[in-house]
């Protein structure tokens, strides 16, 4: 199979061979590009953005990752405008990962669209599956949040530090915990009146 054929299969949610040589080579190339991006810290913004545009599928304006950024393939990641990820972001993008505008990630956030087979023999043979992840506009993911395959986070929501998100989170809420659950809705009372 070609790399594009593997990617098409992965996007369907069907089991795929994670050990296929085409996927291994694609991951290796992604590591080289992400290392180049991470090493460019402190370089002019246009130079860093050019690397991101080569590494990722789609990149809006004002997108920044503090070192280190790690992704699996890169090509399945779409990021909107005004995105910031603090240190040590991990994006496993066997299935599409879509991130909206005005999104903030705390340190050590991980989005994992891929998972291994449950059966030990299938897992040893490289069996994996993937489900898309979607992060809405205006979302804040606190430090150490982990998002599992198939999860969506609704616009304007906040996911508290250390949460493991195994189910989708609706828009406009604060959610936290292991497993993550909705704590409360965000309300006008949450506005402090801050203005720059």
Residue 195, pLDDT above cutoff 90: no
CA–CA separation, 131 and 112 (whole Å): 9
pLDDT tens, 124-177? 999 999 999 999 999 999 999 999 999 999 999 999 999 999 999 999 999 999
Task: Give residue 10's pLDDT band: very low, low, confident or very high (50, 70, 90).
Answer: very high
Q: Which are the catalytic amino acids?
A: 116
Question: Which alpha helices (DSSP H) does the chain contain, by range?
Answer: 3-11, 21-39, 45-55, 120-124
Average pLDDT over residues 167-196: 95
CA distance readout (Å), 121 to 9, 16, 23, 41, 125: 21, 14, 20, 42, 6
Task: Give residue 39's pLDDT band: very low, low, confident or very high (50, 70, 90).
Answer: very high
* 54 backbone dihedrals φ, ψ, rounded to 5°: -80, -40
Identify the pLDDT of residue 140.
98
At how many degrees (to 10) do helices 21-39 and 45-55 cross?
170
């Amino acid at each position: 199979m070609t790399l594009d054929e593997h990617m098409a299969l992965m996007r369907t949610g069907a089991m795929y061979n994670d050990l296929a040589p085409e996927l291994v080579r694609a991951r290796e190339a992604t590591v080289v590009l992400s290392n180049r991006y991470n090493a460019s810290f402190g370089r002019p913004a246009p130079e860093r953005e050019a690397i991101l545009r080569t590494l990722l599928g789609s990149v809006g304006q004002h997108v920044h990752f503090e070192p280190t950024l790690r992704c699996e393939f890169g090509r399945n990641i779409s990021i909107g405008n005004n995105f910031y990820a603090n240190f040590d972001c991990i994006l496993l993008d066997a299935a599409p990962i879509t991130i909206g505008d005005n999104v903030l990630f705390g340190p050590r956030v991980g989005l994992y669209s891929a998972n291994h087979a449950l059966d030990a023999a299938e897992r040893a043979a490289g069996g994996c599956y993937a489900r898309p992840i979607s992060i809405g506009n205006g979302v804040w993911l606190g430090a150490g949040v982990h998002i599992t395959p198939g999860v969506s986070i609704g616009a304007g929501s906040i996911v508290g530090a250390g949460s493991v998100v195994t189910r989708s989170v609706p828009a406009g809420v604060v959610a936290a915990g292991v497993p993550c659950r909705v704590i409360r809705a965000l309300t006008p009372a949450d506005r402090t009146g801050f203005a720059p």
